[in-house]
Amino acid sequence: MSTKRLEALLQQCQEDTAKICGQGAANRLGNWRWYIGNQPELVAFIRRCLRGDNRKNGWQLHTNEGLSLESIVLDHCPELFNESDLFEARRTLGIYDWVSRKCPHRFT
């Protein structure tokens, strides 16, 4: 995945976050812009957010047809993330883990 494509996805995620979760949440997510042009830092930012205090926003976006960070990780560029990242994204979205045969507790 190109850095420009990842940035476009983050922009869409930020716009959807503003509509669904509010401008405060979108402003926090907007910190991704500090890392424009630097894919490793963008990935590190997403990793931090996956494990952060505002994970309920991912669930809200997912259930309201918005683009969440978790969807970016799972559906658009899983190759940029490790198994732990993928697990955290699935956990937030409440997706059954076929590998471990467990349903991670959905974060609400």
List, for the chain, all residue ranges whose pLDDT scores fall below the cut of 70: 96-108
21 located within any domain = yes
Half-sphere exposure of 55 (CA within 13 A, CB side): 19
Q: Is 0.85 surpassed by the pTM of this model? A: yes
Radius of gyration for the alpha carbons in the chain, expressed in angstroms and rounded: 13
Structure confidence at residue 55 (pLDDT): 84
Q: CA-CA distance, 37 to 5, in Å (whole number)?
A: 11
104 located within any domain = no
Residue-wise pLDDT for 40-58, tens only, equals 999 999 999 999 888 899 9
Q: CA-CA distance, 56 to 49, in Å (whole number)?
A: 11
Six token digits for residue 86? 């993928």
101 located within any domain = no
Measured CA distances, 101 to 12, 45, 53, 96, 104 (Å): 32, 29, 26, 7, 9
Structure confidence at residue 51 (pLDDT): 93
Q: Which domain holds residue 17?
A: 3-93
60 located within any domain = yes
The total number of structural domains in the chain stands at 1
98 located within any domain = no
